[in-house]
Amino acid sequence: MNQSITIRKPDDWHLHLRDGAMLEGVLPHTSRHFHRAIIMPNLVPPVVTTAQATAYRERILAAKPKADFFDPLMSLYLTEETDPADVTAGFRSGLVTAVKLYPAGATTNSASGVKDVEKVIPVLEAMAEAGMVLCVHGEVTDPAVDIFDREAVFIDRVLAPLRERVPSLKIVMEHVTTKQGVDYVRSQEQNLAATLTTHHLIINRNAILAGGIKPHYYCLPVAKREEHRLALREAACSGDSRFFLGTDSAPHTDPNKECACGCAGIFTAPNTMSLLAHVFEQENALDRLEAFASLNGPAFYGLEPNSDTITLAKQAEPVSFPAKIHTGDGDVTVFDPMFPVHWAVQ
| Residues in contact with ligand DOR by the rule CB under 6 A | 16, 42, 107-108, 137, 219-220, 250, 263-265
In terms of Cβ atoms closer than 10 Å to its own Cβ (0-12, 13-18, 19+), residue 89 is: middle
- Least Å distance between CB 198 and ligand DOR? 13
- Least Å distance between CB 250 and Zn ion? 5
Q: Which residues pair with 62 in a beta bridge?
A: none
Q: Which is nearer to ligand DOR, 267 or 280 (CB)?
A: 267
Q: CA neighbours within 13 Å on the CB side: how many for 116?
A: 5
- Least Å distance between CB 271 and ligand DOR? 17
Q: Which is nearer to ligand DOR, 102 or 280 (CB)?
A: 102
Q: Which is nearer to Zn ion, 102 or 343 (CB)?
A: 102
Q: Which residue in the set 151, 240, 248, 329 belongs to the binding site for Zn ion (CB under 5 A)?
A: 248
89 binds, among ligand DOR, Zn ion, none (CB under 5 to 8 A by kind): none
Write the single-letter amino acid at 1: M
From CA 40, how far away is CA 38, in angstroms rounded? 6
Which of 172, 126, 137 lies closest to 46 in space, CA to CA?
137
User: Which residues 281-310 are close enough to bind Zn ion by CB under 5 A?
Assistant: none
Would residue 248 show up in a list of annotated catalytic residues for this protein? yes
113 close to 76: Cβ distance less than 8 angstroms: no
- Part in contact with Zn ion (CB under 5 A); list of ranges 152-160, 163-171, 182-190, 245-253: 245-253
In terms of Cβ atoms closer than 10 Å to its own Cβ (0-12, 13-18, 19+), residue 185 is: buried
214 close to 207: Cβ distance less than 8 angstroms: yes
- Least Å distance between CB 246 and ligand DOR? 11
24 binds, among ligand DOR, Zn ion, none (CB under 5 to 8 A by kind): none
Phi, psi of 262 (to 5 degrees): -75, 150
- Part in contact with Zn ion (CB under 5 A); list of ranges 1-9, 21-29, 95-103, 248-256: 248-256
From CA 300, how far away is CA 292, in angstroms rounded? 12
Q: Which is nearer to ligand DOR, 16 or 278 (CB)?
A: 16
Q: Considering the candidates 116, 248, 329, 336, report the single residue annotated as catalytic.
A: 248
